[in-house]
Amino acid sequence: MGKKASHDKRISSKGLRGALARHRAQDSINQKLTKNAQIEKQTQLNKTKSMKSMKSSKRVKQTTQEKSRGYLPFDEDDTVLLIGEGDFTFAKSLIVQNFVPAENLIATSYDSRDELIAKYPEVDKTLDELVEADVKVIHNVDATNLVKTLNLTLTSKQRRAGKTRVDLFSKHGVKLNYIMFNFPHTGKGIKDQDRNIRDHQELILEYFKNCDKVFDLVNEAQLINDDFAGYKSGANINNKSDIEKNSNFGKIILTVFEGEPYNSWGIKILAKSQGYKVMKSGRFDWSMFPEYHHKRTNSTRDTTKPAAERDARLYVFEKSTTTHNNDTKGNKKRNDSDDSDDDDS
């Protein structure tokens, strides 16, 4: 206490001694303030670095998770048409996992409902669940004759009633964004590998041709009746390029197993012959679709090797701005490896 009193006395004293004491005291205070300010600044810097590090770590974690998962191109507002559903468990998985809104999904099968039930005893329950969820389910749909089997051909009576192909295809009258065919197979079981490959090439080629027709019909009708897009009902579209400029073409998806004989199908070349190119491809991750049970085309049994143990790839094809018919003299034609193919792991 005595020392403090002595110190206070020196500060309050007059003359040089008092001034010096006050100066020293102020210096001490200033040093403490400066030190405290530096500590506070460093604390804020550390906090900022920590937050940036956490965000960076989170981004890295998200990127890693995205890369570890397979590829699925759908956005939440996309409309998707599934071709060749077997027991409809893939369609169910899309809905359960919230990859596609139920009302935006059209799921089709090559077989009739009765034929499906004969093949897959549990399918009737799955079908009822899909319909109840507001999925549009259509049977007897042939990938090589989509316009007819999807009932996209209007009768004269329907035309007079003002019906459009959109009305027949989807009650929502929205643009069709994707047509997807998982693991296309003819089901013929041809033993000769060369014939088997040619048979599947014909299937896939017709699939591309028919998808092109469906996009042209459905999305053209949607544009004509879409006030927002600037096309009033009954408006005239002068030529095909007007439609193309308004993006009536959606994207085509094929999922195939890797290895032979699938590599020999040459799906990129087949797509290119119809004016499509690979926009992106990625690994088909079975774990993303836990409800999906890949079956043989012509029986209830699983494939010889469990699907989850087989590598598969999902390809998204988009309409090319130039087709193989537009190659000019003197331009070097690209080969299959030149196609755009932005891969995901």
d(C-alpha 238, C-alpha 231), whole Å: 12
Could you state, in chain order, the average pLDDT of each consecutive group of 10 residues for the chain (345 residues)?
55 64 74 79 75 56 53 90 95 95 94 94 94 95 94 74 60 80 85 88 96 87 45 38 54 95 95 95 94 66 64 94 47 44 61
Nearest to 95 by CA among 127, 124, 121: 127
Structure tokens at 44: 């804020």
Nearest to 188 by CA among 294, 287, 93, 110: 110
d(C-alpha 93, C-alpha 285), whole Å: 13
pLDDT at 334: 42
pLDDT at 47: 72
Nearest to 218 by CA among 178, 263, 259, 158: 178
pLDDT at 64: 43
d(C-alpha 9, C-alpha 37), whole Å: 30
pLDDT at 132: 96
Query: Strands (DSSP E) along the chain, which ranges?
Result: 80-83, 105-108, 136-138, 178-182, 251-257, 276-283, 312-319, 342-343
Antiparallel, parallel or unpaired: β 276-283 and 312-319:
antiparallel
Name all domains of the chain by residue range, CATH numbers in brackets. 2-67 (no CATH), 76-325+334-343 (3.40.50.150)
Nearest to 224 by CA among 178, 168, 175: 175
Find tokens 């559903």 and name the residue: 85
pLDDT at 89: 96
261-298 burial: b if 16+ Cβ within 10 Å, else e: ebeebbbbebbbebbbbbbbbbbbbbebbeebbbbebe
Orientation angle between helical segments 89-96 and 123-132, nearest 10 degrees: 40
Structure confidence by residue, pLDDT tens digits, 138-173: 999 999 999 999 988 767 776 666 665 555 565 556
Is-contact 200 144, C-beta < 8 A?
no
Structure tokens at 313: 């790839």
pLDDT at 44: 79
Confidence (pTM): 0.69
Structure confidence by residue, pLDDT tens digits, 30-79: 777 787 778 888 777 777 776 666 555 545 444 444 455 788 999 888 99
